[in-house]
Amino acid sequence: MNTEKNTDRNAVRNTEPAWLLVTRREVVSRITDKSFLIGTLLMVVMIVGFLGFTAWQDEKTETATLGATPDAVAMATAIADNASQVDDRLEVEVVELADDTAAETALRDDEVDAWLHPGDDGWQLTSESSEQESLTDAAQVVVRQQVLADNAAGAGTTVDALEAGSSVSTNFLRGDAEKAAVAEVVGFAFVFLFYFAALIFGMQLASSVIEEKQSRIVEIIAAAIPLRHLLAGKVLGNTALAVIQLLVYLVVGLVGMSFTSYKSYLPALSGPTAWFIGFFLAGFVALACLWAVAGSLASRTEDLQATSTPLTMLMLVMFFGGLSLDGRAQVIASFIPPVSAVVMPKRILAGGVEWWEPLVALGLLAAFAAVTVWVGEKLYRRALLQTGGRVSLRQAWSAAE
């Protein structure tokens, strides 16, 4: 009975495509690897820690003690009453001091953060050794308002009349300042996650190719399955792992963001995030195939640095281009593969992108991935079984099938 069951299992396995067997082997071997699990967990902890710190900062209230001598108590009280209108996370407590000597002593003993007193031309805020930025900003605004109100009353007019036509407002063609800041941070996360995944999984893919080639195991594998199936299984397996890891990071990040003051932007981020996953998939497949070629060109682990240098430089161009490009250069780069894999999602985040632009960019990236896979498959097959030293691209391309 058991023999019949084992025979049935073997029959099922034998009917599976070779590339699927390789894919399953890649996924299982990596997903059960402690280093992979620990690395993923550490990244999750970093994301949670960053979002937790952000949430804590949002709720954090700064308390400042403001010392005032008798001639400044009224102005200090006005600052304490109106400081929250300037900075809603600032609370000011007034400490009345007998005279200037008492004020200086209180500063040296850290009993107060700053001392407010009349100056030669207005008011002066004195601190012990460093400026209290939040308190200074609030004091400047409130003192200006109070002095303007007193001067206006003395002139028989109002502050509104004096300030009529003097205000300068800001506006953005796309959204507001806070939304632009959120888009910038999330855009950086998109670029970093793509670079991180492509580099880590790419190096591991190339290293596994070198190990199989150096140990001559690949010759045994080549006798059992076509090399294109081996390449497809490696690329698909690592792509599946990278996407799984990416989804974990995105879910943790979006869930964590719901506990911060930026949770109102979550609905607006769902569309760009979906686009990013699509661009990530197409771009990663192309780069993974190139990493496999870099591994096949090397005969020893020491050769990988040389064979992967062009690919590493390409990834650095993508990383810094994704972060620094703006304006017309960003628009042009968003249609050029493989840079478009990181630039177009950033443009979608910022807004103002026509509905057809992501579709065209993704189509071009998918076409680039298809060409890369076709060329990479030929280079991989022709270089993988060549031993005796590093293989150049020209030698791999001109080698016999």
238 and 303 housed in the same domain: yes
Q: What is the per-residue pLDDT across 138-184, written as a single tens digit (0 to 9) for each?
A: 888 888 888 777 777 777 777 677 666 666 554 443 445 677 788 88
Does 210 share its domain with 319? Answer: yes
Question: Given this model, what pLDDT does residue 10 score?
Answer: 47
188 and 155 share a domain? no
Cβ atoms of 67 and 116 within 8 Å: the answer is yes
- CA-CA distance, 93 to 67, in Å (whole number)? 8
In this structure, the answer to whether residues 292 and 366 fall within a common structural domain is: yes
* Bridge partner residues of 117 (DSSP): 124
User: How far apart, in Å, are the Cα atoms of 251 and each of 64, 248, 257?
Assistant: 38, 5, 10
Distance CA 218, CA 209 (A): 8
**Which domain, by its residues, includes 311?**
18-54+175-398
Of 160, 185, 216, the residue that ends a domain is 160
* Alpha carbon 264 to its chain's center: 19
> Does residue 4 lie in a domain region?
no
Boundary (domain end) residue, out of 111, 127, 160: 160
CA–CA gap between residue 163 and residue 156 (Å, rounded): 14
Asked if 253 and 107 sit in the same domain, the reply is: no
Spell out, as residue ranges, where the chain has pLDDT lower than 70: 1-14, 58-60, 129-131, 159, 162-177, 399-401
What is the pLDDT, as a whole number, of residue 167?
A: 61
Q: Which residues pair with 102 in a beta bridge?
A: none
- In-domain check, residue 12: no
State whether residue 285 is helix, strand or coil. helix
Q: Would residue 2 count as lying in a domain?
A: no
Dihedral sign for Cα 90, 95, 96, 102, please.
negative
Domain match, 229 and 370 both: yes
For residue 98, tell me if it sits in a domain: yes
Structurally, how many domains does the chain consist of? 2
Reduced DSSP (H G I as helix, E B as strand, rest coil) percent helix, strand, coil of the chain, to 5: 75, 5, 20
CATH number at residue 128: 3.40.190.10
Backbone angles phi, psi at 130, to 5 degrees: -140, 150
- Give, in order, the Cα–Cα distances in Å from 212 to each of 94, 237, 296, 309: 73, 16, 10, 21
Does 3 reside within a domain? no
Do 45 and 72 belong together in one domain? no
Alpha-helical segments (H) within 351-398: 356-384, 393-398
What is the pLDDT at residue 322? Answer: 92
Residue 287 in any domain: the answer is: yes
Cis peptide bond upstream of 226, omega within 30: no
Cα–Cα distance measured from residue 388 to residue 378, given in angstroms and rounded to the nearest whole number: 20
* The dihedral formed by the CA atoms of 253, 258, 261 and 263, expressed in degrees to the nearest 10: 100
| pLDDT confidence of residue 259 | 85
The number of helix segments (H) and strand segments (E) in the chain equals: 16, 4
Same domain, 142 and 224: no
Cα distance between residue 89 and residue 32, in whole Å: 47
Residue 214, exposed/middle/buried by CB under 10 A (0-12, 13-18, 19+)?
middle
Q: Is 22 exposed, middle or buried (0-12, 13-18, 19+ CB in 10 A)?
A: buried
Helix (H, G, I), strand (E, B) or coil at 124: strand
Give the pLDDT of residue 136: 81
Q: Are 324 and 348 contained in the same domain?
A: yes
Whole-prediction pTM value? 0.74
Looking at the structure, do residues 197 and 236 belong to the same domain, yes or no? yes
Residue at 290 is within a domain: yes
User: Does one domain contain both 49 and 77?
Assistant: no
254 and 361 within one domain: yes
Instruction: Specify the amino acid at residue 322.
Output: G
What's the confidence (pLDDT) of residue 137? 82
Residue-level pLDDT at 348: 93
Last residue of a domain, one of 113, 136, 160: 160
Tell whether 170 is covered by a domain. Answer: no
